[in-house]
Amino acid sequence: MSTVISQVEVPADVHLPIYMDNHATSPLDPRVLEAMMPYFTTKFGNAASRNHSFGWEAEQAVETAREQIAKLIGATAKEIIFTSGATESDNLAIKGIAEMYRERGNHIITQVTEHKAILDTCKRLEKYGYRVTYLPVKADGLIDLDDLERAMDDKTILVSIMAANNEIGVLQPIREIGKLCHQKGVLFHTDAVQAVGKVPVNVIADNIDVLSLSGHKIYGPKGVGALYVRRRNPRVQIAAQIDGGGHERGMRSGTLNVPGIVGLGKACEISLAEMDAEAAYLSGLRDRLKEKLESELDYVHVNGSMEHRLPGNLNMSFVYVEGESLLMGINDVAVSSGSACTSATLEPSYVLKALGLGDDVAHSSIRFGLGRFNTQVEVDYVAAKVIDIVKKLRQLSPLYEMVQEGIDLTKIQWAAH
Amino acid sequence: MAYSDKVIDHYNNPRNVGQLDKSSTEVGTGLVGAPECGDVMRLQIRVNPSTQVIEEAKFKTFGCGSAIASSSLATEWIKGRTVDDALAIKNTDIVKELSLPPVKIHCSVLAEDAIRAAIGDWKKKNGATETAEAAAAAVAQ
């Protein structure tokens, strides 16, 4: 009887399950937790309480966090607005700008591999009479700057292009995009959730007007994020989407999540201090994983640019093996797949499809998201396990067998179902 | 996705993996699904010409865990049955046996299609045109 059960030995210093899905979320850094703790219990004040020490203490903590976040992205503290996370930040940026600049124009430019928080927000605005251009990406996942320039017209008010992609980790040329936007007098928003804290992002050098970031992607808490809103050259105005007490300079009402904000600030401070060393460490691990997989397996390929890429991201297709079945075989390792069977919509990843890959390649993809707490022994174990399971599943794959026999799969009349 | 123990068992220890000689007149081959859809099943049977009993069944599947389990189970069930008995297997039987969730029902449909396609191929080779047409129609769906 054949078996798919892995015989790979678990090293003594590997604790299962292994978490390698850091683009989805990341564990809280213990240093962040430590900073947050007092703000749940003894320092529980409302940062908006102006007339007692509990409020002042909370406000002080919030202002420190604002400084820490601003410093990481080259902004000033006053330009940081706290939100519940990057989805809210993206909604506030796009809807808030669309509303505020409606008289100037109704055209927004974004691109096809954005997160749904951007794409669905833009789709909603289309219902309200806005015009949205969704730029394509090249095979490496990057947009073409000429396409962007051609898409701009006198009604264009906003360009929203992500800094780093959540699936394939590719880094868009935000500095050049920002430069072009400023030349044309168009605002530039970037969803920098995956990039901030991982690679250098500077709102001045990169010509960014509005930027979304989130706590839980950078070893901070969930449920807290921020929006950078430029105050000069140009001064960006955003219409509030949540009305209430007028918090956050009127742009986002609601009592501040003080412990979360403290955690986000601390996470940014740590990221700034450790970014260079961590990037070198993670790209080393990532390259090690890639080399191991490529040396032992045929028909594998990396999705998206290797050159312009987050240090911790590896997105690979193991052709002729379906992604969900591979995840099942490596069930002590937490990673993601672009396979339809793993998505809520039962559609293969739209990001991978946008690269021009066939659906079959998208079905075979795995995203490895390496993070601060992954180790080399973990990488070695994961590589061995993936290699073992891919080989076993290929013994089970009629497609792999046919290809080995020299059959051209594209010439077969498949019965789509 | 929380799979049933039976799906996990078939995935971990798939039954009857392999291939039979496609060119043999005793062998019927069904290849269903499409790579773009994320699942392709190949199911083969070797039928005893005098008894019409399926003496051997082999499969290979590209697909998710339930697709692998559905086809593995299908080979187990059809072995030892006559071709007509094997045609009585319905996808709903597979769903029930493996406790497949609604989003995985198409895997069982594909397995039923694979059985029908393999039997259809065998019948075509052996000149039983009448039912072969019905089977071929089922494959085309």
ipTM of predicted assembly, 2 dp: 0.89
Quick check: is B105 in a domain?
yes
User: Residue B141's pLDDT is what?
Assistant: 47
Q: Which of B24, B3, B25 is nearest to B12 (CA)?
A: B3
Residue appearing with tokens 């003496």: B55
Smallest Cα–Cα separation from A117: which of A83, A140, A147? A83
Residue B139 belongs to some domain of the structure: no
Min mean pLDDT across A296-310, A326-340, A377-391 is at A326-340
Angle at B42 between CA B29 and CA B104, to 5 degrees: 135
Task: Tell me if A414 is assigned to some domain.
Answer: no
CA distance A174 to A188: 9
CB contact under 8 A, B62 and A395: no
Q: Is the pLDDT of residue A338 over 90?
A: no
Q: With respect to residue A8, please indicate whether it lies within any of the assigned structural domains.
A: no
Q: Is the CB of residue B22 less than 8 Å away from at least one CB of chain A?
A: no
Structure tokens at A257: 């999540």
Residues on chain B touching A391 (C-beta within 8 angstroms): none
Write out the two tokens for A328. Answer: 């099942």
Q: Which of A341, A347, A397, A409 to mutate to test the interface with B (most CBs of B within 10 A)?
A: A341
- Shortest distance between the Cα of B1 and any Cα of chain A, in A, equals 8
Cβ of B140 within 8 Å of Cβ of A348? The answer is: no
Identify all chain A residues contacting B58, using CB atoms and an 8 Å cutoff.
none
Amino acid identity of B82?
Answer: T
Cβ A93 vs Cβ A116: under 8 Å = no
Phi, psi of A191 (to 5 degrees): -85, 100
Count of beta carbons in the 10 Å neighbourhood of residue B18: 15
State residue A340's pLDDT score. Answer: 75
pLDDT score at B131: 52
Spatial CA neighbour of A325 closest among B118, B5, B86, B65: B65
Q: Which of A226, A250, A271 is the last residue of a domain?
A: A271
Contacts A348 to B, Cβ<8 Å? 38
Amino acid occupying residue A342: T
Same domain assignment for residues A222 and A328: no
HEC letters along chain B: CCCCHHHHHHHHCCCCECCCCCCCCCEEEEEEEEHHHCEEEEEEEEECCCCCEEEEEEEEEECCHHHHHHHHHHHHHHCCCEHHHHHCCCHHHHHHHHCCCHHHHHHHHHHHHHHHHHHHHHHHHCCCHHHHHHHHHHHHC
Q: Report if residue B141 sits inside a domain.
A: no
pTM: 0.93
Which of A255, A271, A287 delimits the end of a domain? Answer: A271
Chain A residues with CB-CB distance to B103 below 8 A: 346
A409 CB burial (10 A radius; 0-12, 13-18, 19+): middle
Is residue A312, in this structure, part of any structural domain at all? Answer: yes
Is A96 inside a domain boundary? Answer: yes
Residues of A in contact with B109 (CB under 8 A): 417
Residues belonging to chain A with any Cβ–Cβ distance to chain B shorter than 8 Å: 1-5, 320-322, 324-325, 328-329, 339-342, 346, 348, 358-360, 363, 395-401, 409, 412, 414-417
Does residue B77 fall inside a structural domain? yes
A417 within domain boundaries: no
Q: What is the pLDDT of residue B135?
A: 53
Identify whether A4 is part of a domain. Answer: no
Residue whose token pair is 């046996």: B97
* Residue A233 CA neighbour count, 13 Å, CB half: 9
Task: Please say whether the beta carbons of A242 and A212 come within 8 A.
Answer: no
| Residue B12 to residue A417, Cβ atoms within 8 A | no
A341 is catalytic: yes
> How many domains in chain B?
1
Residue A307, number of CB atoms within 10 A of its CB:
9
Structural domain includes residue A12: no
* Catalytic sites of B, residue numbers: 37, 107
pLDDT tens digits for range A351-375? 999 999 888 889 999 999 999 999 9
From A122, A181, A268, A341, active-site residue: A341
Helices (H), A74-115: 86-100
Residue A378 lies inside a defined structural domain of this protein: yes
Residue B139 is predicted with a pLDDT of 53
B37 to chain A, closest Cα gap in Å? 7
For residue A240, pLDDT over 60 is answered with yes
Per-residue pLDDT of A288-309, as tens digits, reads 999 999 999 999 999 999 999 9
- Mean pLDDT is lowest, of A172-176, A403-407, A410-414, for A410-414
CATH code for position B60 = 3.90.1010.10
Give the CATH number, domain containing residue A279: 3.90.1150.10
| Domain-located, residue B140 | no
Same domain? A147 vs A104: yes
Query: Which residue does chain A place closest to B58, by CA atoms?
Result: A396
Could you give the CA distance from residue A417 to residue A341 in angstroms, rounded to a whole number? 14
Ramachandran class of A74: left when φ > 0, alpha when ψ lies in -120 to 50, beta otherwise: left
Q: Do B37 and A359 touch (CB under 8 A)?
A: yes
Cβ-Cβ contacts under 8 Å, A1 against chain B: 13, 15
Q: Is residue B74 part of a domain?
A: yes
Please, are residues A161 and A145 in contact by the beta-carbon 8 Å criterion? no
**Which pLDDT band, with edges at 50, 70 and 90, does A80 fall under?**
very high
Q: Using CA atoms, how far apart are residues A192 and A238, in angstroms rounded to an integer?
A: 18
Best mutation target among A389, A400, A405, A414 (most B Cβ atoms within 10 Å) is A414
> Which SS3 state, helix, strand or coil, does residue A8 take?
coil
Residues of chain B scoring pLDDT < 70: 1, 128-141
Same domain, A213 and A78: yes
| Residue whose C-alpha is closest to residue A170's, from A138, A145, A211 | A138
User: What are A102-155's pLDDT values in tens digits?
Assistant: 999 999 999 999 999 999 999 999 999 999 999 999 999 999 999 999 999 999
Tell me the mean pLDDT in the region A178-200: 98
Query: What's the number of domains chain A is made of?
Result: 2
- Asked if residue A370 and residue A346 are part of one domain, the reply reads yes
Residue B140 sits at the chain A interface (C-beta within 8 Å): yes
- Looking at the fold, whether A267 and A288 belong to one and the same domain comes out as no
Do A42 and A164 share a domain, yes or no? yes
Q: Which of A271, A295, A320 is the last residue of a domain?
A: A271
Instruction: Nearest chain A residue to B66 by CA: give it.
Output: A325
* Average pLDDT for chain A: 96
Q: How many CB pairs under 8 A join A and B?
A: 105
Tokens of A58: 């909370």
Helix H or strand E segment including A226: strand A225-229
pLDDT digits (tens, 9 = 90+) for A16-29: 999 999 999 999 99
Q: Which DSSP state fits A9? A: P
pLDDT at B130: 47
Range(s) of the domain holding residue A132: 30-271
Whether residue B11 and residue A359 make contact (CB cut-off 8 A), yes or no, is: no
Specify whether A289 is located in the same domain as A186. no
A382 pLDDT higher than 50: yes
Domain carrying residue B23:
5-132
Question: Nearest CB to A346: which of B42, B65, B103?
Answer: B103
Structure tokens at A174: 């935000």
A295 and A207 share one domain: no
A258 & A215 share domain: yes
pLDDT above 90 covers what percent of chain A?
Answer: 91
pLDDT at A36 over 50: yes
Whether residue A143 is found in the same domain as residue A54: yes
Q: Say whether both A318 and A266 belong to one domain.
A: no
Q: Which residue of B has its CA nearest to A358?
A: B36
B2/A contact by beta carbon, under 8 A = no
Q: Please give the structure tokens belonging to residue B79.
A: 């072995």
Structure tokens at B122: 């065998």
What are residue B57's DSSP bridge partners? B45
Buried-state track B30-47, b at ≥16 Cβ within 10 A, e below 16: bbbbbbbbbbbbbbbbbb
**B10 belongs to a structural domain:** yes
Contact A345, A387 (CB under 8 A): no
- Clarify whether residues A109 and A55 are in a common domain: yes
Q: Is B65's CB within 8 Å of A325's CB? A: yes
User: Measured on CA atoms in the order A400, A403, A405, A407, is the torsion positive or negative?
Assistant: positive
Query: Where residue A66 sits, what CATH number does that domain have?
Result: 3.40.640.10
